[in-house]
Each structure stands twice: as C-alpha cells, then as structure tokens.
C-alpha cells in the first residue's frame, strides 16, 4: 500500500543573470559602472540552486509537485531562465525590467520575490525557496535572508547538504559556517541559500535544451507585482582597485629566503 503524501512540495528557485565568472571585468572610464558588453551566464550559486531542486525531485519523486524558476532582470535574462528550464525546472517567471534600469537592490528583489510567492498561493503555494548565497557581481549575499525576514520564514544560509522530509514538513540543512559545519533543523516553508559544495551542477543536454523551449515562461513587470525596484542606496562611483605590481621572479630557494629576510620574515623558533 502506498502511503499518500500529506502535502506535495512546491519549490521556487530565483536565478540571476550575471557577468560570467571567468570574465576579467573592466571598469568604465566614466566610473559609473563596468563594461557589460561581455559574456553573461547564470550566477554560479544559482546553478547550484537549480541543480539541488532538480535533485530533490529525483530523490523525492512525486513528493515534489513543481519547480519554478524566477528571474528579475532585463529582456536578456530570459536566456538564464531557459538554461534553468533545460536543467529540469518546469516553468519560469520573468520579471522584466528595462535594459537601462539600475540594478535592483537585494531588498527590492526580495520584495518582488515575496509578491511572487503571494501570487503562487492560489496555485498551491511555495514551500521551499532555494537560491544562491550571493551573486558574483554585487557580492552582497543578502537576498535570501531578507526574503526569509519579509516572509517570517525559517532560513538556512550557506547550505552544503539538504535533507527534506516532506511528510514532517521539515528539512535538515548542513551549513558552512566560520570554522566548520553546523546542522540545523528547519520547519517548512523555508529559504535555503546554497554554498559551492552543495552539488555539482549538470550540463543541460541538447534534447533538454530543445524541450526547455516549449516550457512556459510567464512575463511580469514590477508594477504587476506592485513593487518599486528603485535602489535606495546611491552608487556614487565605481573604480578600479589599486593595482598590484608583481615584483618579479627569483631563481632559487636561497634567493627566495633572502627576499623573505629582507621583508623581515624569519622562521619561528620551535
């Protein structure tokens, strides 16, 4: 006899289109930002989040009812949604902002996500949000925590392992904290943010990329969600960091030790 699940799990995965992690960025001479005419891809931590959602479904089978991905960004962010759909998500939501709009802040993004979660209520609600621990462009690392705060939900940041018990409506999450690991037990609904070591994201296969083209993407605007994405912090300027000049090479270990000595670095006495 098959036990019937008390409740089925709906997962939401927010993703962000960022400058590709391997690109060496250039600061614009006008000091207003960086050159964005470069390769973009999905924020690496978000790929891990999508992968984890897909793996949860592979582990829990029918207990996972849906995996939705959402992005907030310019028209081109739709590509990022397609990538997530090709990895195994079911449907996408694109909150489109104009190309020229300033990048929204974590607080604005979290409010938009809150509005999306509210909208999803009539479709069964969201039980689990999995998102990256930080975006590699603004390096803020706040959105997940803010969303959990706005919703008054449990949060588990910097996750390196997630075990969900759908029947109990609980998740055990191992977190990477300063100095080691910490395990917490969280009640659903829950916001999890992913650390690097949670999983190894899959590559989307060509058939899956083709299939992803048929998956639905709902388009919304910030005003549909009744949110204002105008930044509240003013970015005055963006500059190059101070340049480090390599000091050249030495030929031998002896020369290396001499250089260390010159800098006042001597061995410690045991």
Partner 1 sequence: MSCKPLLRHYATAPGPHALVFLEHRGGVIDSGSLSALTAAQQLGGQVSGLVVGAAEEVQAAVQSAKKLSGLSSLLHASSPQYAAPITEIISPLLERVLSNDSPFTHVVSAHSSFAKSLLPRVAAKLDAPAVSDITSVEHDASSNSTTFTRPIYAGNAIATVRAPQSIPIKFFTVRSTAFSAAVPQDGAQVEDKALDPVDVADPPTQHVKTDLTKSDRPELGVASRVVSGGRALKNAETFKSTMEPLADVLGAAIGASRAAVDAGYCDNSLQVGQTGKVVAPELYMAVGISGAIQHLAGMKDSKLIVAINKDPEAPIFQVADVGLVADLYEAVPQLVEKLKAQ
Window 239 to 268, contacts with partner 1 (CB under 8 A): 239-241, 244, 246-250, 252-257, 259-260, 263, 265-268
Q: What residues does 219 pair with on adjacent strands?
A: 94
76 versus 185: smaller Cβ distance to partner 1: 185
Number of residues that bind partner 1 (CB under 8 A): 83
* Residues in contact with 249: Cβ distance below 8 Å, sequence separation at least 6, in sequence order: none
Q: Can you tell me whether residue 109 is helix, strand or coil?
A: helix
Nearest to 154 by CA among 191, 129, 120: 191
> What phi, psi does 54 have (nearest 5°)?
-65, -40
Cα–Cα distances in Å, from 190 out to 21, 123, 164, 186?
Answer: 28, 18, 11, 7
Residue 93 — left, alpha, or beta (φ > 0 → left; ψ -120 to 50 → alpha)?
beta
Q: Cα angle at 207 between 205 and 210, to 5 degrees?
A: 110
Contact 112, 96 (CB under 8 A): no
Strand 9-15, strand 128-132: pairing: parallel
Q: In the complex, what is the shortest distance from the CB of residue 79 to partner 1, in angstroms, rounded to a whole number?
A: 20
- The span from the CA of 7 to the CA of 65, in Å, is 9
Pick one of 19, 89, 93, 166: the residue that binds partner 1 (CB under 8 A): 19
Q: In the complex, what is the shortest distance from the CB of residue 8 to partner 1, in angstroms, rounded to a whole number?
A: 20
92 versus 106: smaller Cβ distance to partner 1: 106
- The span from the CA of 252 to the CA of 77, in Å, is 51
Pick one of 5, 8, 27, 78: the residue that binds partner 1 (CB under 8 A): 27
Pick one of 157, 192, 225, 229: the residue that binds partner 1 (CB under 8 A): 157
Pick one of 6, 21, 99, 230: the residue that binds partner 1 (CB under 8 A): 21
Q: In the complex, what is the shortest distance from the CB of residue 171 to partner 1, in angstroms, rounded to a whole number?
A: 10
What residues numbered 121-140 form the site for partner 1, per CB under 8 A?
133-134, 136-140
36 versus 210: smaller Cβ distance to partner 1: 36
Stretch that binds partner 1, among 22-30, 54-62, 75-83, 218-226 (CB under 8 A): 22-30
149 versus 208: smaller Cβ distance to partner 1: 149
Stretch that binds partner 1, among 69-77, 171-179, 203-211, 221-229 (CB under 8 A): 171-179
85 versus 227: smaller Cβ distance to partner 1: 227
* Residues in contact with 186: Cβ distance below 8 Å, sequence separation at least 6, in sequence order: 154, 155, 156, 170, 171, 172, 173
145 binds partner 1 (CB under 8 A): yes
- The span from the CA of 22 to the CA of 173, in Å, is 30
What residues numbered 43-102 form the site for partner 1, per CB under 8 A?
none
Q: In the complex, what is the shortest distance from the CB of residue 23 to partner 1, in angstroms, rounded to a whole number?
A: 9
Contact 190, 11 (CB under 8 A): no
What residues numbered 184-223 form the site for partner 1, per CB under 8 A?
184-187, 190, 195-197
């Amino acid at each position: 006899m098959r036990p019937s699940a008390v409740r089925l799990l709906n997962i939401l995965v927010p993703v962000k289109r960022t400058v590709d992690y391997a690109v060496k960025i250039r600061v614009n001479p006008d000091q207003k930002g960086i050159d964005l005419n470069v390769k973009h891809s999905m924020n690496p931590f978000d790929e891990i989040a999508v992968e984890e959602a897909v793996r949860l479904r592979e582990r829990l089978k029918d207990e996972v009812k849906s995996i939705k991905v959402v992005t907030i960004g310019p028209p081109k962010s739709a590509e990022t949604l397609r990538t997530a759909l090709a990895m195994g998500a079911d449907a996408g939501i694109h909150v489109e902002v104009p190309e020229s709009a300033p990048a929204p802040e974590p607080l604005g993004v979290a409010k938009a996500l809150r509005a999306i979660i509210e909208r999803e209520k009539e479709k069964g609600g969201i039980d689990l949000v999995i998102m990256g621990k930080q975006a590699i462009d603004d390096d803020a690392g706040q959105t997940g925590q803010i969303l959990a705060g706005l919703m008054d939900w449990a949060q588990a940041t910097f996750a390196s392992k997630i075990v969900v018990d759908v029947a109990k409506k609980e998740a055990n999450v191992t977190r990477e904290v300063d100095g080691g690991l910490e395990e917490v037990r969280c009640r659903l609904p829950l916001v999890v943010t992913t650390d690097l070591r949670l999983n190894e994201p899959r590559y989307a296969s060509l058939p899956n990329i083709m299939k992803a083209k048929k998956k639905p993407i709902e388009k919304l605007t910030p005003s549909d969600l009744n949110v204002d994405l105008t930044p509240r912090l003013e970015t005055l300027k963006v500059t190059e960091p101070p340049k480090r000049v390599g000091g050249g090479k030495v030929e031998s270990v002896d020369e290396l030790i001499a250089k260390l000595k010159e800098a006042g670095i001597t061995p410690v006495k045991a």
